């Protein structure tokens, strides 16, 4: 089965986890994931009660929801991670991962690396030549994670307090 707007086969199995598109009715579950992250402020800024709603709705200028893939990472019935992927931004051959998070028990075990490999493969399979990831400058663990995966810091976006890491998908 593929998503309605992106040709990504779902659900996908990564390690012992399942990846599938998040639905609007799962907003409270996504908010619970955010609320349970002790490092949320470092990862994303000051927490708010509507962060999940914002994640479902946010789009870069010039993009529409057909280009957005908000996915959940499930361990059985429990949401343990999420990602927000935008196709063709800021250029047609670039995909941007603006959010990628795993709960604490799933970090440091190779799960994130496996999930990023899956994300990169999905993008490459749809013609992306580059993957771009946005990270808050104070998220040093996120920056180290991306660097270990071959990403290089390309620039900073002061207006959104994000650093841009990029990698060719060759």
Domain boundaries, the chain: 12-168
Among residues 85, 81, 135, the alpha carbon closest in space to that of 113 is found at 81
The Cα 3–Cα 50 span in angstroms is 25
Rounded to the nearest 10 degrees, how much is the dihedral formed by the CA atoms of 112, 113, 117, 118? -30
Pair 124, 168: CB distance under 8 Å:
no
Task: State the average pLDDT for the chain.
Answer: 91
- Report how far apart, in Å, the C-alpha atoms of 114 and of each of 14, 19, 86 are: 7, 12, 19
Average pLDDT over residues 74-86: 96
The Cα 129–Cα 77 span in angstroms is 34
What's the pLDDT band for 6 if we cut at 50, 70, 90?
low
The Cα 60–Cα 165 span in angstroms is 17
The Cα 114–Cα 73 span in angstroms is 12
CATH number for the domain formed by residue range(s) 12-168: 3.40.630.30
Residue 28 pLDDT more than 70? yes
Residue 144 pLDDT more than 90? yes
Average pLDDT over residues 21-37: 94
The Cα 91–Cα 111 span in angstroms is 29
Name the least confident of 1-5, 30-34, 117-121, 134-138: 1-5
Element (H, E) at 162: strand 162-168
The Cα 80–Cα 7 span in angstroms is 24
Pair 82, 30: CB distance under 8 Å:
yes
């Amino acid at each position: 089965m593929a998503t309605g707007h992106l040709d990504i086969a779902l659900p996908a199995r990564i390690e012992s986890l399942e990846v599938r598109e998040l639905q609007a009715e799962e907003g409270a579950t996504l908010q619970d994931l955010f609320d349970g992250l002790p490092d949320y402020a470092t990862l994303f800024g000051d927490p708010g009660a509507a962060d999940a709603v914002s994640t479902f709705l946010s789009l870069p200028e010039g993009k529409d929801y057909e280009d957005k893939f908000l996915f959940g990472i499930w361990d059985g019935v429990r949401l343990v991670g999420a990602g927000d992927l935008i196709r063709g931004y800021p250029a047609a051959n670039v995909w941007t991962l603006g959010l990628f998070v795993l709960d604490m028990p799933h970090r440091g075990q190779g799960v994130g690396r496996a999930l990023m490999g899956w994300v990169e493969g999905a993008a490459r399979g749809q013609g992306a030549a580059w993957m771009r990831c946005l990270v808050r400058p104070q998220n040093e663990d996120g920056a180290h994670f991306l660097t270990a995966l071959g990403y290089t810091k390309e620039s900073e976006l002061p207006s959104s307090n994000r650093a841009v890491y990029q990698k060719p998908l060759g």
